[in-house]
């Protein structure tokens, strides 16, 4: 994306959901880092992937910063939208994911990203939950899996937080994330089963259901360091949800491209990493094959998403008043 592609009028409609791209790219980066560790390989791609993901974050943050400075009312409109509101924490989650990606490459950079990301995510969580509590316009049809992003995103914090030496802080964020996972999962199941289907453009967000138990498993293993009943419950919940959504593949393949397609990427990355962690802890080859297999598929999906997003921006199907 260039300034020629995104003129001032299009920057006004630059969506906050663009930061889901960073989550997807960061997830892919961390998954490849994990795969190389598990398979005892060094393909030399990690620095490139980290650099690409960081550049993407900086570019998107730059564009959104311009929007905030020039079109403050448009940002406030998103901040009060019942669905778009939940994508603001993708900024802090992106910082937390970059902290994980930098953890073994440049620990000092990882620490700075983690401190910033964790602090910002706490503020976003407090703000969004306060809006939920004191709302006057939310309806059940506004509920979709994107609501997991603000509160359940807290479970990411321990993945870098524990090795950086912030154990108790990590337990705090993990507890908040698991609490809201249970609450929101109940509401989502009620919404899907007893009300009108989720609209087509938000259908890909169903993949977000995979992320809380998958990331929760990874984070819990960081916190306790060994397998137990709870860790197995988290992993197998993620496995079931992955299988369930794969059985719906025909429905997803019929969808036209929306920016929400990026919701496919991070949850699959999380499940791939969780499977490789499961392999490390149990030695079961099936988990290694599962993790690497999903990673291979994810790499192709991300390549497709990057191309589809570029075409959509070029054709004014993104960053326009009607989208």
H/E stretch holding 186 reads: helix 167-194
Q: Which pLDDT score, from 0 to 100, does residue 2 have?
A: 46
Average confidence (pLDDT) over 34-52: 92
Q: CA 59 from chain center: how many Å? A: 18
> Could you give the percent of the chain with pLDDT greater than 90?
64
1: confidence class by pLDDT, cuts 50, 70, 90: very low
The answer, yes or no, to whether residue 254 has pLDDT greater than 60, is yes
21: confidence class by pLDDT, cuts 50, 70, 90: very high
Q: Which pLDDT score, from 0 to 100, does residue 7 have?
A: 58
Task: Note the pLDDT tens digit of each residue in 47-98.
Answer: 999 999 999 999 999 999 999 998 899 889 888 887 888 899 999 999 999 9
Q: CA 199 from chain center: how many Å? A: 20
Task: Note the pLDDT tens digit of each residue in 131-171.
Answer: 888 876 777 777 788 888 988 889 999 999 999 999 999 99
Q: Which has the closest alpha carbon to 128: 90, 72, 169?
A: 90
122: confidence class by pLDDT, cuts 50, 70, 90: very high
Average confidence (pLDDT) over 197-206: 84
CA gap 46, 54 in Å, rounded:
12
Show the CA angle centred on residue 77, arms to residues 71 and 81, nearest 5°.
150
CA gap 117, 297 in Å, rounded:
29
State the chain's mean pLDDT as an integer.
Answer: 90
Q: Which pLDDT score, from 0 to 100, does residue 3 have?
A: 43
Higher pLDDT, 22 or 193: 22
Task: Note the pLDDT tens digit of each residue in 94-110.
Answer: 999 999 999 989 999 99
6: confidence class by pLDDT, cuts 50, 70, 90: very low
The answer, yes or no, to whether residue 234 has pLDDT greater than 90, is yes
Task: Note the pLDDT tens digit of each residue in 269-278.
Answer: 999 999 999 9
Q: Which pLDDT score, from 0 to 100, does residue 124 have?
A: 94
Q: Which pLDDT score, from 0 to 100, does residue 138 have?
A: 72
Domains and CATH numbers, the chain: 8-314 (1.50.10.150)
Task: Note the pLDDT tens digit of each residue in 297-322.
Answer: 999 999 999 999 999 888 877 766 65
Burial of 61 (0-12, 13-18, 19+ CB in 10 A): middle
Give 3-state DSSP helix, strand, coil % of the chain, rounded to 5: 80, 0, 20
């Amino acid at each position: 994306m260039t300034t020629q592609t995104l003129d001032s009028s299009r920057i006004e409609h630059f969506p906050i959901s663009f930061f889901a791209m960073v989550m997807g790219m960061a997830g892919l980066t961390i998954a490849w880092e994990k795969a190389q560790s598990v398979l005892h390989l060094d393909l030399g791609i990690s620095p490139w992937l980290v650099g690409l993901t960081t550049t993407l974050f900086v570019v998107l943050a730059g564009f959104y910063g311009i929007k905030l400075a020039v079109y403050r009312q448009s940002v406030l409109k998103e901040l009060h939208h019942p669905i778009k509101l939940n994508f603001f924490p993708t900024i802090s989650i992106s910082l937390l994911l970059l902290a994980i990606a930098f953890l073994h490459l440049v620990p000092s950079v990882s620490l700075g990203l983690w401190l910033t990301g964790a602090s910002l995510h706490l503020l976003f969580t407090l703000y969004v939950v306060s809006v939920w509590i004191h709302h006057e316009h939310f309806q059940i049809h506004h509920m979709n899996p994107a609501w997991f992003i603000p509160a359940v995103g807290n479970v990411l914090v321990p993945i870098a937080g524990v090795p950086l030496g912030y154990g108790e802080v990590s337990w705090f964020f993990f507890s908040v994330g698991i609490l809201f996972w249970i609450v929101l999962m109940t509401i989502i199941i009620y919404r899907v089963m007893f009300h009108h289907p989720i609209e087509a453009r938000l259908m890909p967000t169903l993949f977000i259901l995979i992320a809380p138990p998958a990331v929760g498993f990874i984070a819990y293993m960081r916190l306790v360091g060994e397998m137990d009943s709870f860790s197995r419950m988290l992993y197998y919940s993620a496995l079931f949800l992955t299988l369930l959504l794969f059985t719906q593949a025909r429905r997803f393949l019929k969808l036209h491209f929306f920016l929400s397609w990026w919701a496919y990427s991070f949850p699959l990355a999380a499940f791939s990493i969780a499977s490789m962690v499961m392999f490390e802890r149990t030695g079961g080859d099936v988990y290694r094959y599962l993790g690497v297999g999903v990673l291979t598929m994810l790499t192709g999906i991300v390549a497709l998403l990057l191309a589809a997003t570029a075409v959509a921006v070029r054709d004014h199907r993104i960053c326009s008043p009607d989208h």
